[in-house]
Amino acid sequence: MVNQEVHTTSTSNQDIFSKTLEQLAATDTNIVVVTSDSRGSGKLVSFGQKFPEQHIEVGIAEQNLVGVAAGLASCGKKTFAVSPACFLTARSFEQIKNDVAYSNNPVTLVGISAGVSYGALGSTHHSLHDFAALRAVNNISIVVPADNFETAAAVAYAANCNAPLYLRFGKKAMPHLQETGTAKFEFGKGRVITEGTDIAIIACGETVAPAVDAAKKLATQNIHATVISMHTIKPLDTNLLATVAKTCKAVITIEEHSVYGGLGEACASYLLQHGIHVAFKIMGIPDEYTVTGSQTEILNHYGISESGIVDAAVRLIQQKEN
């Protein structure tokens, strides 16, 4: 049964990222932020003013951003490299591979304005490739918080994990996801928001909120959904994935990313290779030149919305039963 509530807040995950980082930096001078003309968009103006000795601005030079961050990390600094996700994970891909991951420099790469949240600027400014690209690189983890609680916990984890990590944030204010019992964030473990046995909806980042709304709507049709915030895409919580795939009639994955190479394909690959057969659907951005619009308009267009998820869930269950 769906018995959780979604409480609206007015705070974006990017805002929580910067506030949490300020709190940590106040007592840890080894925390250093490197930006590429991204202080404003990364909500880091206040950080730079409060901690000028712990902030380095490299200008619009994302490859330099990652290289400088890696050098600082190699000297013992807890480095956060902050830049729009579309540029950070494409223009700087070689530096991420060689200077951070393969050299084992513990940089936290922070992709801001991620997915389609940058604005109505077209496909050049969307980051629909970042999960796929970084999943293919050894020795870097991928964490995509869904709400303010997960964001604060993920930033605190990143500051002390001493390993390469990619954090991804969008721009809009996010609701608080309220699960049964005490809220808990654990790296590498999915967070169960609602529980049901008809369908499992596995989402990440800003797609978790509409998944929860869809679960509430499905409950009125006597369809009870498990909703999981799979905030850690790499390493994937395969134990939880296997459990819900075996107990639910169907599985849907949802991501603000291409349908290729991301959360959905990671889940599908694991299930197929381990002989777990279940009705399955990947919801994401299809392989086409993305329509132009706001984040909400684009997601609605591709069905990544309460109504779109409800329709997909009903069709998948009907397909399973027929």
The CATH number of the domain holding residue 123 is 3.40.50.970
Is residue 4 one of the residues assigned to a domain? no
> Of the residues 168, 197, 213, which one is the last residue of a structural domain?
168
Q: What is the pLDDT of residues 46-87, one digit of tens each?
A: 998 999 999 999 999 999 999 999 999 999 999 999 999 999
String of b and e for 4-23 (b: at least 16 CB within 10 Å)?
bebeeeeebbbbbbbbbbbe
User: By mean pLDDT, which of 30-39, 92-101, 275-284 is the weakest?
Assistant: 30-39
Last residue of a domain, one of 168, 184, 213: 168
Give CA angle at 35 (32, 37), nearest 5°: 155
Q: Residue 196 sits in a domain of what CATH number?
A: 3.40.50.920
How buried is residue 76: exposed, middle or buried, by Cβ count under 10 Å (0-12/13-18/19+)? exposed
Shared domain check, 156 and 20: yes
The yes-or-no verdict on residue 282 having pLDDT over 50 is yes
Confidence of residue 309 (pLDDT cuts 50, 70, 90): very high
Q: Which residues contact 181 (CB under 8 A, 6 or more apart)?
A: none
Question: What is the spatial distance between Cα 312 and Cα 237, in angstroms, rounded to a whole number?
Answer: 24
CA distance from start to end of the chain: 24
Condensed to tens digits (0 to 9), the pLDDT of residues 93-123 reads 999 999 999 999 999 999 999 999 998 888 8
- On whether residue 2 sits in a domain, the answer given is no
Please state the rounded mean pLDDT for residues 303-309.
97
Give the number of domains in the chain. Answer: 2
Domain identity same for 188 and 93: no
Its pTM stands at: 0.94
Using only the alpha carbons of the chain, give its radius of gyration: 19
Same structural domain for residues 268 and 250? yes
Q: Are residues 199 and 144 in the same domain?
A: no
Q: What is the distance of C-alpha 6 from the center of its chain?
A: 18
Please tell me whether residues 223 and 84 are part of one structural domain: no
Strand partners, 226: 200
How far, in Å, are 84, 190, 289, 303 from residue 297 at the CA level? 20, 28, 15, 10
Per-residue pLDDT, averaged over 23-50, amounts to 92
Question: Would you state the pLDDT for residue 180?
Answer: 58
Q: What is the pLDDT of residue 9?
A: 55
Residues 89 and 232 in one domain: no
Q: What are the structure tokens assigned to 216, written together? A: 């509430």
Least confident of 84-93, 176-185, 236-245: 176-185
Q: Is residue 3 part of a domain?
A: no
What's residue 189's pLDDT?
Answer: 97
Q: Nearest 5°: phi and psi at 29?
A: -75, -5
Does residue 151 sit in the same domain as residue 260?
no
Tell me whether strands 250-258 and 199-203 are parallel, antiparallel or unpaired.
parallel
Kindly give the pairing relationship between strand 141-143 and strand 232-234.
Answer: antiparallel
> Is residue 112, in this structure, part of any structural domain at all?
yes
- Alpha-carbon span 56 to 42, nearest angstrom: 13
Strand partners of residue 177? 6
Q: Which two tokens stand for residue 309?
A: 């998820």
With 80 as the cut, is the pLDDT of residue 6 above it?
no
How far is Cα 257 from Cα 9, in angstroms, rounded to an integer?
A: 24
Residue 320 pLDDT grade (very low, low, confident, very high; cuts 50, 70, 90): confident
Instruction: Show which of 168, 191, 210 is a domain's final residue.
Output: 168
Q: What share of the chain is helix, strand, coil (3-state, %, to 5)?
A: 40, 20, 40
Give the pLDDT confidence score for residue 39 in this predicted structure.
81
Local confidence band at 181 (pLDDT 50, 70, 90 cut-offs): low
In degrees, rounded to 5, the angle at the alpha carbon of residue 254 between the alpha carbons of residues 1 and 233 is 105
pLDDT tens digits, residue range 111-168? 999 999 998 888 889 999 999 999 999 999 999 999 999 999 999 999 999 999 999 9
Question: Does the pLDDT value for residue 8 go beyond 80?
Answer: no
- Shared domain for 30 and 137, answered yes or no, is yes
Task: Give the range of the structural domain holding residue 216, as residue numbers without chain letter.
Answer: 176-321
Higher pLDDT, 189 or 6: 189
Both 193 and 152 in one domain: the answer is no
State the pLDDT confidence band at 41, using cuts at 50, 70 and 90: confident
Query: Are 59 and 103 within one domain?
Result: yes
Q: What are phi and psi of 121, to 5 degrees?
A: -110, 0
* 223 in the same domain as 164: no
Same domain, 160 and 184: no
The CA angle 282-284-286, to the nearest 5 degrees, is 100
User: Mean of the per-residue pLDDT values for the chain?
Assistant: 93
